[in-house]
Amino acid sequence: MTVPVPGTSKAILLGAHEYARLNPLTAVRANLESLHAHVLEDEVWRLREEDCLFLSQPEAGVSAITDNLYETTAQATGTLLVYYAGHGTGDPDHADRLMLALPGSHYDRPWTWLDYAHLRRAVQDSPAARKLVVLDCCYGGKAIDGGMSGDSSPSPTATSLIDLADMDGTCVLTAASGEERAMCPPDAEYSAFTGELLRLLRQGATGPIPSDPHGRHGEQLEVLDISTLYAYLRDRLSARSVAGFPLPEPQLGTRNNGGGIVVGRNRSYVPPAPPPGTSAPDAPVTPMSLTAPDAVHVGRGSELRQILDLAERIRPGEGRPASCLVHGMGGSGKTHLLRMAAAELRERFPDAAFEIDLHGFAAARSAAYDSSTEGIRQPAEALESLLSQVGHPKIPPGLQARQEEWRAWLAGRRALLLLDNAHDAKQVAPLLPGQGAECLALISSRSRDFPSDIRIGLGELPEKLAVDLLTTMAQAERPEGPVSASPADLVEIARRCGHLPVALRPIGAALATLSAAAILDATGGPEPFRELPSAESAVRLAFESSYNRLPDDLKETLWACAWHPGRTYSAPTIGVMLDISPSYAELRLDRLTRLHLLQGSHTRPDLHDLYLPLVRAAAREVPGRREARARLYRQLADLTTAAWKIVTEEASGDRFDSPASAREWLVESTTDLEAAAIAALADRWPDAHGFAEATARWLRFNSQYDTAAMVYVASLELARTTNNRLAQANALQGLGDCHRLQDRYDEAAEHYQRALELARTTTNRTTQAYALIGLAHCHRPQDRYDQATEHYQQALELARSTGNRTTQAYALIGLAHCHRLQNRYEQTAEHYQQALELARETGNHATQASALVGLADCDRLQGDYDHAIDHYQQAFDVARLTGNNHATQTNALIGLADCHRTENRYDQAAARYRQAFDLARTINNRTTQAMALIGLAHCDRVQDHHPEAIKHYRQSLELARATNDRLIQAYALNGLADSHRAQGRYDHATAHYRDALDLSHATNNRTMQALALTGLAECHTAQDQRRPARKYLRRAIRIYTDIGRDDRAELLQERLRELK
């Protein structure tokens, strides 16, 4: 017989299970994967991965696939196997031509199919001594449900495929003749033909060989050649049917002894009987090598139940084994769980119970299994141990023979296998029972990539169970008394143990003799278990047993994670640090996640708290940290600047195609930006201040004021250390913005003043101008219009002296706001118009929209609602041009709504308020949501819909409290009070007015104070309490007079005269 010679043989496995325009063939995937495993593991073939061209669901086009076929067939000198599974049909123009489907094949486009003639030519030209082609596909014909022809296209002219097998030294085996359809039932694991082929390869041939002229039995054959295999295939398939349709008869064509090609070892081979006079060995005793579980067991009840339920599915007489994989990071309690399960299940598997440590992850070793087998228990070695335990008289050499003996011993028995610390599926596969064995295999591994009936992932214990394990371990060590530790201390100790059993068990035992305070003190540093050797060695062993097995590329990726300034890692940032593509980085992160060295999603994983210091310690020993972080800073800084420019100025660029995509990147990268900006400052990266400013500006824009302030503080500290006064001024300016936007005007003003003083020492007039604008922004909401106007004017003059039109526009808008609040509408409109013209000159859409909103406000306050509506609509349209200026869009919508409400068009007003609310919610702008709700509440109140009004005011109040916006809280409280007063609930109204007055005092907003005072006066008037009413009116009149609102003051004077 012609046996394949390892190293000279090649295999090509090609097929598709999903198609763009043809029916899916789900089983094809399993066909290919199982045959792939066979040619890699079978002792006859023993192919290396590089000797097998595995093309399952290929994405390449026909031309590229054909090139791959030619390249691989040209390299084979021993045996060449070519297998195809999928749709097959004929060419309408050539009746004798077979076409093989690829994922993108289309019946009306023959060029999208692989022409069998090209495959045939590649095999024919190959220098291989033995060539085997296996085609599991239809050769035309009308499709039925489950057929492999894909649809009901007409059958091509019948032609025997065997006639095409005119290649020397070749065997062609097909699932069907040229007139028939091959069968692929949709609910079957394999197609009909390949399923039977795999059964023969896995279980072997037994019984009389069909049509054998010598009357031999399959058990007499040590290996199976293609002719014998075909005889069994034809006999078995001809006796079966699918959905009432008989299976087609497979076809075989051979040339030059092609039928003698060996395809696998006969798993049912029975060696000849021993010579006369020899005796059979004694029967072994029932083998049992399980290790008892630890006495202390806490948690994992649901996981244990899953394993016990799986065991229930192994029914006597069915001959079906089952397997369970428990995977997780080192120290999560995998082995303990499986030992608990084995102890529970021992009586259900009376024939044998084995536990074997496969040494898949061993800390003392350094080589990865992919590149070396050092230290890992090889399957042949493990099988030798198992066969010795069952008393096998003579253990054969070689993996394949030992596997056959092992499965033969398990066949018909009920046995339990605990395969601990497995490295990968390749190591475990030969140890698993075959069909006919009623066995349960329990597998533990750091990797999750094992085929099994159920897979259970273990991670941290919940907090309560982690604390329970601590106390249970302590009580087991000292049963005479309870643990002397407070609940809070136990929770903190459990947290420092990472909620993992590997640390909880030794630390819990230490609690029997040490106080909680001592343990907390010992575990408080960067190396938490240095003073507790038992815990330190356990955690280190759990980590190093995984780390030392990693190939170099995954170790480099872990180092990059340790160098990364954030606590979670993304493929783009890790890719930049390692100077590799994001897709390659994602693959590495996925591999580390599957090995449980990283946790969470592979798109945003992190290192467990217990292992982070160990990875950092390992990473300190290798060079490259500074360069990797510098690459990360440069990339993030450039992208942040580009994204901000597009978001605010509608600029174009190569990095982002729209403002929406730029904002999406900023949102997704916020965590990375925050951590990287602070780290860049700590590393004193040359462009750290600019990166920090860009990051903090985005955080501030996104209402993350406290986080932005942290970045500014870090920038300020570095600037002070290096005596960089301009950087100090910029950082102080940013801090002032953060405080001002939270209504902390005194702190903000202090920062702006210091920034102004520093900027003056640098002669940087732009920074001076921005500091002055910041000071003015603090004065204006506190009704100090003269001071605000003075600072805006100074900023405007500085900006004009430098020719900075953007800063001029900002200062003009500030001046216009001051005039508007003092009813100086002519000056207001003039300044807004000047700002608008400057913004148009610079192409700054955001500033244009702000100026238009200001003009609209001016029109509305003067009762010119038509012009106001026109300007608001223009502002909305311009803001929408940027695709992202949602704040101005919502301001314009609220202004439009205010116009409609003032003119009693309440339905239109409510619709605009709701539109503004929805838009604000999409960007999580709770301040604007609150303002829109107040507008809705006003509409409800003036229509006497007080319950709805109160609901909207309260919702607005909650949003304002969530953002700590005291001014809007006061506004909502005044509205609530107005609704209660309108319903005669004067106590409720008075309480809300007083709260609004207190908040107005806290923010020094005198307009809001006057509104609250007026409301209090009306409450007292309605209850005929004229004296306090007059007192409140006088206070309100003084405020309106002080801030220049004479119109309001005159109205209240008239009201005061009525009360006298």
For the cut 70, the answer to whether the pLDDT of residue 655 exceeds it is: yes
443 and 468: one domain?
no
pLDDT reported for residue 259? 66
- CATH number at 715 reads 1.25.40.10
Compute the mean pLDDT over every residue in the chain, rounded to the nearest whole number: 82
- Residue ranges of alpha helices (H) inside 862-965 are 865-881, 886-902, 906-922, 926-942, 946-962
Decide if 859 is inside a domain.
no
What is the DSSP secondary structure assignment for residue 82, as one 8-state letter? E
For the cut 90, the answer to whether the pLDDT of residue 291 exceeds it is: no
171 and 234: one domain?
yes
- CATH number at 138 reads 3.40.50.1460
Decide if 931 is inside a domain.
yes
Decide if 277 is inside a domain.
no
| Least confident segment among 10-14, 280-284, 355-359, 569-573 | 280-284
Cα separation of 28 and 22, whole Å? 14
In sequence order, what DSSP letters do the residues of 660-679 get, joined into one string?
HHHHHHHHHTHHHHHHHHHH
993 and 940: one domain?
yes
Exposed (0-12), middle (13-18) or buried (19+): which is 487, by Cβ within 10 Å?
exposed
pLDDT reported for residue 43? 59
Decide if 285 is inside a domain.
no
Cα separation of 142 and 148, whole Å? 10
Tell me the one-letter amino acid at 1035. Answer: R
In sequence order, what are the residues at sequence separation of 6 or more whose Cβ sits closer than 8 angstroms to the Cβ of residue 966? 743, 960, 999, 1002, 1003
1017 and 1045: one domain?
yes
Residue finishing a domain among 458, 489, 512: 458
H/E element, 199: helix 192-203
615 and 639: one domain?
no
Instruction: Give percent above pLDDT 70 in the chain.
Output: 88
Cα separation of 349 and 9, whole Å? 42
Cα separation of 175 and 139, whole Å? 9
**300 against 208, higher pLDDT:** 208
| Least confident segment among 112-116, 121-125, 134-138, 448-452 | 448-452
Cα separation of 229 and 227, whole Å? 5
Exposed (0-12), middle (13-18) or buried (19+): which is 513, by Cβ within 10 Å?
exposed
Decide if 851 is inside a domain.
no
What pLDDT, in 10s, does the model give residues 659-681?
Answer: 778 888 888 888 889 989 999 99
Tell me the one-letter amino acid at 15. Answer: G
What is the DSSP secondary structure assignment for residue 47, as one 8-state letter? -
pLDDT reported for residue 156? 33
**515 against 811, higher pLDDT:** 811
Most confident of 112-121, 241-250, 374-383: 112-121
Residue for token digits 């409609």?
900
pLDDT reported for residue 455? 85
Q: Are strands 130-136 and 114-115 parallel, antiparallel or unpaired?
A: unpaired
Cα separation of 468 and 475, whole Å? 10
What pLDDT, in 10s, does the model give residues 807-831?
Answer: 999 999 999 988 888 878 889 999 9
Q: Which domain range does residue 223 map to?
A: 10-265
Q: Are strands 454-458 and 322-328 parallel, antiparallel or unpaired?
A: parallel
Q: Count other C-beta atoms under 10 Å from residue 919's C-beta.
A: 18
Asked if 155 contacts 193 with a C-beta cutoff of 8 angstroms, the reply is: no
41 and 152: one domain?
yes
What pLDDT, in 10s, does the model give residues 72-104?
Answer: 998 887 789 999 999 988 776 666 778 899 999
Residue finishing a domain among 582, 601, 622: 622
Exposed (0-12), middle (13-18) or buried (19+): which is 533, by Cβ within 10 Å?
exposed
Q: Count other C-beta atoms under 10 Å from residue 975's C-beta.
A: 28
Cα separation of 699 and 570, whole Å? 19
What's the rounded mean pLDDT across residues 505-511? Answer: 73
Residue finishing a domain among 771, 792, 823: 823
411 and 389: one domain?
yes
What pLDDT, in 10s, does the model give residues 851-898?
Answer: 999 998 888 888 888 898 999 898 888 877 655 556 788 888 999 999
Q: Where are the beta strands (DSSP E) in 673-804?
A: none
Cα separation of 573 and 553, whole Å? 16
Decide if 261 is inside a domain.
yes
pTM: 0.56
Nearest to 141 by CA among 151, 132, 131: 151
In sequence order, what are the residues at sequence separation of 6 or more whose Cβ sits closer than 8 angstroms to the Cβ of residue 63? none
Residue for token digits 């907003």?
1005
793 and 739: one domain?
yes
Terminal Cα-to-Cα distance of the chain (whole angstroms) = 124
Nearest to 176 by CA among 200, 190, 159: 159
What is the DSSP secondary structure assignment for residue 998, as one 8-state letter? H
CA dist list (Å): 609 to 495, 498, 500, 678, 753: 9, 6, 10, 21, 43
Torsion of CA 799, 804, 805, 811, to 10 degrees: -30
pLDDT reported for residue 520? 77
Query: Order of strands across the sheet with 52-56?
Result: 52-56, 10-15, 79-85, 130-136, 170-174, 251-254
Nearest to 983 by CA among 1037, 929, 1040, 1022: 1022
767 and 668: one domain?
yes
What pLDDT, in 10s, does the model give residues 622-643?
Answer: 888 899 989 999 999 989 988 8
Q: Are strands 245-246 and 241-242 parallel, antiparallel or unpaired?
A: antiparallel
Decide if 812 is inside a domain.
yes
What pLDDT, in 10s, does the model give residues 749-781?
Answer: 999 999 999 999 988 899 999 999 999 999 888
pLDDT reported for residue 4? 63
Angle at 706 between CA 701 and CA 707, to 5 degrees: 75
Nearest to 303 by CA among 322, 328, 280, 285: 328
pLDDT reported for residue 952? 93
In sequence order, what are the residues at sequence separation of 6 or more whose Cβ sits closer than 8 angstroms to the Cβ of residue 467? 487, 490, 491, 494
Angle at 295 between CA 294 and CA 301, to 5 degrees: 80
Three-state SS at 14: strand
Interior/surface letters 340-363, b for 16+ CB within 10 angstroms, e for the rest: bbbeebeeebebbbbbbbbbbbbb
Strand partners, 10: 80
In angstroms, how far is CA 265 from the centroid of its own chain?
A: 44
Most confident of 139-153, 265-279, 864-878: 864-878
For the chain, the residue count is: 1060
Structure tokens at 672: 């990375």
Residue for token digits 């409800």?
940
With the C-alpha atoms ordered 589, 592, 594, 600, is the resulting torsion angle positive or negative? negative
Backbone phi and psi for residue 823, each to the nearest 5 degrees, phi listed first:
60, 25
Instruction: Give percent above pLDDT 90 in the chain.
Output: 24
For the cut 50, the answer to whether the pLDDT of residue 366 exceeds it is: no
Q: Count other C-beta atoms under 10 Å from residue 1024's C-beta.
A: 7
For the cut 70, the answer to whether the pLDDT of residue 401 exceeds it is: yes
Tell me the one-letter amino acid at 410. Answer: L
Cα separation of 356 and 571, whole Å? 38
What is the DSSP secondary structure assignment for residue 597, as one 8-state letter? S
Most confident of 333-342, 362-371, 928-937: 928-937
How many distinct structural domains can be found in the chain?
6
For the cut 50, the answer to whether the pLDDT of residue 167 exceeds it is: no
pLDDT reported for residue 448? 77
What is the DSSP secondary structure assignment for residue 147, as one 8-state letter? B
Decide if 689 is inside a domain.
yes
pLDDT reported for residue 157? 32
- CATH number at 309 reads 3.40.50.300
- CATH number at 568 reads 1.10.10.10
| Least confident segment among 534-543, 546-555, 566-575, 1033-1042 | 534-543
24 and 162: one domain?
yes
Cα separation of 615 and 835, whole Å? 55
Give the pLDDT band (50/70/90) at residue 286.
low
pLDDT reported for residue 653? 63
Interior/surface letters 647-683, b for 16+ CB within 10 angstroms, e for the rest: bbbbeeeeebeebebbbebbeebbebbbbbbbbbbeb
Query: Order of strands across the sheet with 415-422?
Result: 352-357, 415-422, 440-445, 322-328, 454-458
499 and 566: one domain?
no
Asked if 738 contacts 750 with a C-beta cutoff of 8 angstroms, the reply is: no
527 and 655: one domain?
no
